A and B are shown apart, each in its own frame.
Chain A
Amino acid sequence: MNKLLAITKKELLHYFYSPMAYVVLWAFLLINGFLFYVILSALSKTASPPVSPLSIIFGGSFFFYLLTIVITVVVTMRLGAEERKQGTFETLLTSPISDFEIVMGKFLAAFIFYVVAWLFTLIYVFIVKAYQKDLDFGPIISSYLGTLLLGMFFISIGLFSSMISKNQIVSAVIATLIMTMLLGITFLEFISSGVTREIFHYFDILTIMDNFSKGIVDSRNLIYLLSGTAFFIALSEKSLEARRWQ
């Protein structure tokens, strides 16, 4: 456990001692802030539909998925690929740290960075609360839960891509492709019917996020996101193990 936390600490220090982390946070909050401003302006018009501004922030717009993909890809693309490029992987692999501890340490660090980024969006909740006295916090809590679970899933994908790639760009491309394919299930669901449609519906991330943003926590959504995370973490560990024997 201590070794795992040491790796997490090392990765976190690497993030926050680099100006890149702040550039990412600046861009993340700028885009989210602009989106929030646009939503508030649009909803202030009398003919606007009765939609909660926070439900659009969390999964109700294209920008949510764009930001989630960008931030998870940026924080994970260097985790394995950079170590390989700098030649520090060999040192790590020969140290008395298990593959699981290495993978989980890196995963945890990326996830903490992701959580920190989303925690800064709490300011939007306080702003909405200031204008809307009867704000229901249930859907807000579940929206954050959904966002964190989706982040875990995407980070595990990014981590796996980074473990199998030789450089950061390739890692980012692979991760983005997998994430986009998962989001594309919505389209497959739309064009299919019967049982196939039900299966695609189960895996549809847009539907899952819609549930969370409305305040519905569905065990199917939790299981899918958690099992998906575990699946890619296991793959990452296996790729690391394969590298050890190369």
Chain B
Amino acid sequence: MTSKRKRAMGGANWSLFVLLLIALFIIINYLSFRHFKTYDTTFSDEFSLSPQTKKFLKELKNDVEVYVLLPIGDVGYEKVSRLLDSFKVESKRIKVEYVDPERDKGRYEILLKKYQVTNPDSVVFVSGDRSRWVERDEFLEYEYSMFGEPPKMKGFKGENSFLNAMYDVVDPRKPVIYFTVGHGEKFDFDESGKGASFFKERLSKEGAVIKTLQTAGLKKVPDDASLVIVAGLNIPFTKEEEGVLERYYEEGGSLFLLIDPMFKEGNEIEFKDSGLEDLCKKYGLELQNDLVVDPEASLLEGRAQTFYGVDYSSHKITYDLMKNKYPILFTLARSLNIVDPQSSDFKCEKLISTSEKAWGETNLKELKNVKKDNEDYAGPLCLASLIENRKNEKSRMVVIGDSDIISDGTILSGLGGNTIFALNVVHYLVKMENRISIPPKQIKSSSIVLTSTQIVTNFIVVVIIYPLIFAILGVWVYFRRRR
């Protein structure tokens, strides 16, 4: 064989080898691109999905198309794409398309029009002919500076909002929620913007149909009711109205009672009944006439009647709040006392309690100088309770000694726990537990602050001494070799 031919053969052999190697590399990486797994090594499971999201994705029977309408450099882009990647790991039915508003302008405009998206930076979920879009404020939490600095991303709540959006497009059930009226309720659910608009909007956004229920003269709760909410009474319920709620509950209905301490009108402040005391007592829960004061968990010094609930049970309603230490803000609350029910078919379970230092103030005459005394109820006090009906498991009831937990003011002053808790209660009561809210993932502040002395010490150690050791070693090796 001539050397020219030998070289040509060698060249062909080389080219074939390189081509095969490239083909193998592409096949391996294509398979890895299609079938992948991610492992979260953070101790706090920062990048892991909650069990309910995993369960939902694993059981997904319909395809869900996701359109990410965010520019690549957007502050939430990376978090969104990471989360959607985790969704894809759990289910092959999730199809994701990223559409940059600047670069894919045509496609972006078509999608905005097709799915009637009015907010430009959104993520759209589509299944069959149903679609739901989630705007940026629903998946990002910001911290605003008072000094004119740009807002910082504080938390990422994409898992919760995306999961709920997917529920909406694959499960079109719409629970009907009735709010009672006619008792001077402080929230007007017929009109928006009256005291509890955030809560109402969240319920509507999650697919609930909100209606009001005039209980005066009512014989029966409407058949379409998935839940009846009694919140912020000023005028007590009559015996007949109480009876309507009792029958509704015992026949498999769901009740959510948010009952503040109520006061008589007149010169001297005195407690009055809400008209629902007998109903609650029948099932083993006493509505105590007191004002809860918790100096240890108060929001502001000197205003111990506004405080955070600190002790949560491990029930699924409060489990994630407990795990993520999300506080729920109460203001002017009454305590609840678990007593023996009339029938062993009912059982009360504490959901939230105060600290041990709290007490239930019973003397309204000395409100300007409140202090714990013998007549007061001693802490820890129950603030929210769940009533189970063993005879009819469809019957569900949650009682809270404060209606302000759903007010706009409290939701805005709190740390996010109130909305999550109230929505969790509603999801549980309308038998849609799989929609229990997942608290946002906080963006961890892991920076460290050093004093100037510590900074100088670090400089000497890591920049001078430490590398110098290797320089000395090098010099030593050099002279040793010369010898």
Task: Judge whether B446 and A132 touch: CB under 8 Å.
Answer: yes
A26 CB contacts on chain B under 8 angstroms? 467-468, 470-471, 474
Which residue of B37, B42, B44, B104 contacts A193 across the interface (Cβ within 8 Å)? Answer: B104
Stretch of A36-44, A91-99, A104-112 at the chain-chain interface: A36-44
Q: Is B445 an interface residue (CB 8 A)?
A: yes
Q: A193 and B447: CB pair below 8 A?
A: no
Query: In the complex, are the beta carbons of B37 and A219 less than 8 A apart?
Result: yes
Write out the residue numbers on chain A whose beta carbons fall within 8 Å of the beta carbon of B36. Answer: 218-220
User: Contact: A37 with B21, CB < 8 Å?
Assistant: no
The reply to whether A50 and B14 form a contact with Cβ atoms under 8 Å apart is no
Inter-chain contact A40/B40, CB cutoff 8 Å: no
Q: Which of B115-123, B166-174, B226-234, B452-460 lies at the interface with chain A? A: B452-460
Q: Are B467 and A217 in contact (CB under 8 A)?
A: no
Instruction: Say yes or no: A128 contacts B477, CB within 8 Å.
Output: no
Shortest CB–CB separation between residue B72 and chain A, in angstroms? 7
Contact for A245 among B10, B443, B468, CB less than 8 A = B10
Contact present for B104 and A215 (CB under 8 Å): no
Contact in complex: B443, A41 (CB < 8 Å): no
A62 within 8 A of B: no
Number of interface residues of B (CB under 8 A): 57
CB pair B43–A138 under 8 Å, yes or no, is yes
Complex contact A49–B447 (CB within 8 A): yes
Q: Using a CB-CB cutoff of 8 Å, which residues 55-79 of chain B contact chain A?
A: 72
Out of B10, B22, B43, name the residue touching A242 (CB < 8 Å): B10
A48 an interface residue at 8 Å Cβ cutoff?
A: yes
Are A215 and B467 within 8 A (Cβ)? no
- Give the shortest distance, in Å, between B452 (CB) and chain A (any CB): 9
Contact, CB under 8 Å: A131 / B32: no
Q: Could you tell me if A217 and B41 are in contact, using CB atoms closer than 8 angstroms?
A: yes
CB-defined contacts of B224 to chain A, threshold 8 Å: none
A124 within 8 A of B: yes
Contact yes or no, A131 B454, CB < 8 A: yes
Binds B, one of A15-23, A73-81, A148-156, A173-181: A15-23
Tell me whether A223 and B32 are in contact (CB under 8 A).
Answer: yes
Q: Which of B5-42 contact A (CB under 8 A)?
A: 6, 10, 14, 17-18, 21-22, 25, 28-29, 32-33, 36-42
Q: Check A224–B29 contact: CB distance below 8 A.
A: yes
Given A193-B100, A197-B98, do A50 and B41 touch, yes or no (CB 8 Å)? no
Report the nearest B residue to A131, measured CB to CB.
B448
| B461-483 interface bits toward A, Cβ cutoff 8 Å, 1 = contact, 0 = none | 11100111011011101100100
Contact pick for A37, options B40, B447, B448, B455, CB 8 Å? B455
CA distance A123 to B28 in the complex (A): 37
Query: Is A194's CB within 8 Å of the partner chain B?
Result: yes
Contact of A127 (CB < 8 Å), options: B29, B39, B458, B470: B458
Interface residues of A in 127-172 (CB under 8 A from B): 127-128, 131-132, 135-139, 141-142
Q: A137 to B446, alpha carbons, bound, how many Å?
A: 12
Set A50, A128, A194: member contacting B445, Cβ < 8 A: A50
Q: How far is the CA of A135 from the CA of B278 in the complex (A)?
A: 53
Q: List 5 A-B contacts (CB under 8 A).
A: A41-B450, A50-B445, A50-B446, A139-B42, A217-B38
Having A194-B104, A238-B17, one finds 6 other A-B pairs with CB under 8 Å, namely A29-B462, A36-B462, A44-B455, A137-B43, A193-B104, A227-B28
Residues on A close to B: CB < 8 A? 16-19, 21-23, 25-27, 29-30, 33-34, 36-37, 40-41, 43-44, 46-53, 120, 123-124, 127-128, 131-132, 135-139, 141-142, 190, 193-194, 197-198, 202, 214-220, 223-224, 227-228, 231, 234-235, 238, 242, 245
Interface residues of B, Cβ cutoff 8 Å to A: 6, 10, 14, 17-18, 21-22, 25, 28-29, 32-33, 36-44, 46-47, 72, 82, 98, 100, 103-104, 149, 152, 443-450, 454-455, 458-459, 461-463, 466-468, 470-471, 473-475, 477-478, 481
